[in-house]
Amino acid sequence: MKYLGLENLKADLWVFDNDGTLYPNSKDLEHAVGDLMDEYIAGFYSIKKLEASKKRKDILQKYNTKYTLIALRQDGISEDDFIQKTYLSINPVDFGVTSNIELTKLIGSLAGEKIILTNNPSEFAGLILKSLGIKHFFSRIIGMRERNYVQKPSIGAFEFLMYWLENDKTVVLVDDCLDNITIAKSLGCVTIFVEGGLL
Ligand SMILES: [Mg+2]
């Protein structure tokens, strides 16, 4: 576990990113989800699986996004069905995402409300948090759909924090993406940059 001094901070609200923050990003996990997305795309557009990754690139470009779900929903997929058959069809344990006493102790020791702010679907963050054994510490998971697809680092993704900040509450935001850190800091959050996960 890296020492970041989180336990010495006092916050009314803790805002944690999920991927790459609460656990290290896993290329294997990313590939497994990507592979399921290709399978889904092949079925949806009635094309061969081999052609699906090219199709994925094309639609990401067409809708100018790096998020497959954001592109596909504009072509009319069922978002719930897609999330179920891709993000929720992997087992995080297979990719080394398991509970860790130190992480559990650390998150559990932080006073104040704790939420997750992720650019992935909240359901996926829920799956990961369950596997990490820390889901019960968080009062809310705000994912891409809960923000109507306004993604970090767009300022709109952080706007809900203004209620806290304008009422003199201390908000600590923990993220592994520097652009997100920069925006949060500019709004008045205390920020902690985590490189490669807390673990
Ligand atoms: Mg991240």
- Cα of 186 to ligand 1 centre, how many Å? 19
- Cα of 68 to ligand 1 centre, how many Å? 17
Q: Is residue 199 part of a domain?
A: no
What mean pLDDT comes out for the span 24-53? 97
DSSP-based three-state secondary structure for 39: helix
Cα angle: 3, vertex 98, 83; to 5 degrees: 110
Q: What's the predicted TM-score (pTM) here?
A: 0.96
Q: How confident is the model at residue 96 (pLDDT cuts 50, 70, 90)?
A: very high
What pLDDT sits at residue 78? 97
What pLDDT sits at residue 92? 98
- Give me the residue label for tokens 């889904």: 40
What mean pLDDT comes out for the span 58-85? 97
Percentage, residues of the chain above pLDDT 70: 100
Distances (CA, A) of 75 to 38, 72, 78, 119, 136: 15, 5, 10, 20, 35
- Cα of 74 to ligand 1 centre, how many Å? 24
- Cα of 117 to ligand 1 centre, how many Å? 9
Write the pLDDT tens digit of every residue in 15-37.
999 999 999 999 999 999 999 99
- Cα of 86 to ligand 1 centre, how many Å? 19
Which of 42, 58, 89 marks a domain boundary? Answer: 89
Res 82 pLDDT > 80: yes
What mean pLDDT comes out for the span 74-89? 98
Q: Is residue 182 part of a domain?
A: yes
Residue 185 belongs to a domain with what CATH number? 3.40.50.1000
Say yes or no: 117 and 137 in one domain: yes
Instruction: Report the b/e string of 164-195 with b at 16+ CB within 10 A.
Output: bbeeeebbbbbbbbeebbebbeebebebbbbe
- Cα of 192 to ligand 1 centre, how many Å? 12
Q: Is residue 1 part of a domain?
A: no
Res 123 pLDDT > 90: yes
Say yes or no: 188 and 117 in one domain: yes
Say yes or no: 71 and 132 in one domain: no
Say yes or no: 156 and 178 in one domain: yes
- C-beta of residue 138 within 8 angstroms of C-beta of residue 156: no
Write down the mean pLDDT value for the chain: 96
Element (H, E) at 37: helix 27-45
- Cα of 156 to ligand 1 centre, how many Å? 17
Res 124 pLDDT > 90: yes
State the total domains in the chain. 2
Full domain range(s) for residue 81: 28-89
Say yes or no: 38 and 49 in one domain: yes
Tell me whether residue 54 is exposed, middle or buried, using C-beta atoms within 10 angstroms of its C-beta: 0 to 12, 13 to 18, 19 or more.
exposed
For residue 12, the number of C-alpha atoms closer than 13 Å in the C-beta half-sphere is 11
Say yes or no: 40 and 133 in one domain: no
Which of 89, 114, 137 marks a domain boundary? Answer: 89
- Cα of 118 to ligand 1 centre, how many Å? 7
What pLDDT sits at residue 87? 98
Res 167 pLDDT > 80: yes
d(CA 123, CA 143): 8
Q: How confident is the model at residue 166 (pLDDT cuts 50, 70, 90)?
A: very high
